[in-house]
Structure 1
Amino acid sequence: MSKQLSAMSWRKGNGVAGRPWNGAKREYDLFKELTVGVIVVSLLVVAVSAIFSSPDDKSVTLKSWANSQPNDFVVTTNAELGHTSDSAGYGPPYNSTTDASQTIGALDLQSLAGVKIPIDSAKDFVIGPLSTLPNTPAAVSTWKAASSAQQTAWTDAYGKALDTAKGDPAAVASGNYGPVPAITGELLTMAKQGSLDSVLNAGGSFYNFNYTRSMLFLGDSAYFTDLATSLHLTGDQWGMINGIGYYPGQSWLWMFSLFYQIEPFKSLPNADLVIILIVAALTMVLMIVPLIPGLRDLPRLIPIHRLIWKDYYKRR
Structure 2
Amino acid sequence: MREYDLFKELAIGVGVVGVLVLALAAIVGSPDDKTITLKTWATAAPADFIATATGELAGTTDTAGYGPPYTTTAGATQTLGPIDLQSMSGTRLPIDTAKDLVITPLTTLGAAADARATWAAASDTQRTDWATAYGEALAKAPKGDPAKVAAGDYGPVPELTATLQAEAVTGGVDGAIQQEGGVFNFDYTRTILFLGDGQYFPGLAAGMHLTGDQWGMMNETGNYPGQSWLWLFSFWYQLPVIGDLPNADLVVVGLMGLLTLALALVSVIPGLRDLPRLIPLHRLVWRSYYRQR
Equivalence for 1:129: 105
Report deviation, 1:248: 2.9
Matched, 1:240 2:217: yes
Equivalence for 1:12: none
Matched, 1:67 2:37: no
Alignment of 1:193-232 (within 5 A): 193-232=170-209
Equivalence for 1:304: 281
Matched, 1:76 2:59: no
Letter paired with 1:132: T
Letter paired with 1:129: P
Q: How far, CA to CA, are the matches of 1:251 and 1:145 in structure 2? A: 53
Equivalence for 2:245: 268
Select which of 52, 58, 69 maps to 2:28. 52
Q: How far, CA to CA, are the matches of 1:57 and 1:160 in structure 2? A: 34
Equivalence for 1:88: 64
Equivalence for 2:121: 145
Contact 1:238–1:248 (CA<8 Å) still a contact in 2?
A: no
Contact 1:93–1:110 (CA<8 Å) still a contact in 2?
A: yes
Partner SS state of residue 34, structure 2: coil
Q: TM-score, normalised by structure 2?
A: 0.92
Q: How far, CA to CA, are the matches of 1:286 and 1:30 in structure 2? A: 48
Letter paired with 2:39: K
Q: How far, CA to CA, are the matches of 1:45 and 1:184 in structure 2? A: 47
Letter paired with 2:154: Y
Contact 2:112–2:159 (CA<8 Å) still a contact in 1?
A: no
Equivalence for 2:259: 282
Q: How far, CA to CA, are the matches of 1:218 and 1:62 in structure 2? A: 7
Partner SS state of residue 240, structure 2: coil
Alpha carbons of structure 1 residues 298 and 42: separation in structure 2 relative to 1, 3 Å: farther
Partner SS state of residue 221, structure 2: coil
- C-alpha deviations, 1:18-67, integer Å up to 9, x for none? xxxxxxxxx9x894975675443333222211222111111000000000
Contact 1:232–1:246 (CA<8 Å) still a contact in 2?
A: no
Select which of 87, 92, 96 maps to 1:111. 87
Identical aligned residues as a percent: 55
Matched, 1:254 2:231: yes
Once superposed, what is the RMSD of the aligned Cα atoms?
2.1
Matched, 1:292 2:269: yes
**Structure ID, larger Rg:** 1
Unaligned runs of 5+ in 2: none
Aligned length: 289
Alpha carbons of structure 1 residues 299 and 142: separation in structure 2 relative to 1, 3 Å: same
- C-alpha deviations, 1:101-151, integer Å up to 9, x for none? 011222111000210000000000000100112355210110010001110
Q: TM-score, normalised by structure 1?
A: 0.86
